[in-house]
């Protein structure tokens, strides 16, 4: 399945036990990952096939949108450094 990186059609969603964040026209994927890594907690990353400003349910730290792709689990080894 091809991922669309255009924020007007899809976005990336990252979540930990403490917070969640998405890519937006103002926040790139690299900036999103840096933001989550600085938190120092493990987090999951998803590609969500709807615009970033779409209203949808988040259940157990996961977006509930058909076609969402789970991209992986990231664990910071030190605050701000991902493993």
The domain segmentation of the chain, as residue ranges, is 11-70
How far apart are the C-alpha atoms of 53 and 1, rounded to whole Å?
22
Report pLDDT digits (tens) over 31-66. 999 999 999 999 999 999 999 999 999 999 999 999
So what's the pLDDT on residue 20? Answer: 95
Contact in structure between 75 and 40 (CB atoms under 8 Å): no
Bridge partners for 78 per DSSP:
81
Residue 71 predicted with pLDDT over 90: yes
Q: Which of 40, 37, 46, 42 is nearest to 68 (CA)?
A: 46
So what's the pLDDT on residue 76? Answer: 76
pTM of whole model > 0.75?
Answer: yes
Reduce the DSSP state of residue 45 to 3 states and report it.
strand
What is the share, in percent, of the chain residues with pLDDT greater than 90?
Answer: 80
Spell out the alpha helix ranges (H) of the chain: 29-39
Structural Rg of the chain based on CA atoms: 12
């Amino acid at each position: 399945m091809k991922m669309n990186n255009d924020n007007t059609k899809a976005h990336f969603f990252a979540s930990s036990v403490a917070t969640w964040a998405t890519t937006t026209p103002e926040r790139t994927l690299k900036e999103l990952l840096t933001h989550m890594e600085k938190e120092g907690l493990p987090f999951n990353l998803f590609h969500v096939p709807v615009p970033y400003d779409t209203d949808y349910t988040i259940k157990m730290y996961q977006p509930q949108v058909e076609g969402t792709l789970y991209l992986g689990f990231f664990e910071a080894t030190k605050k701000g450094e991902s493993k």
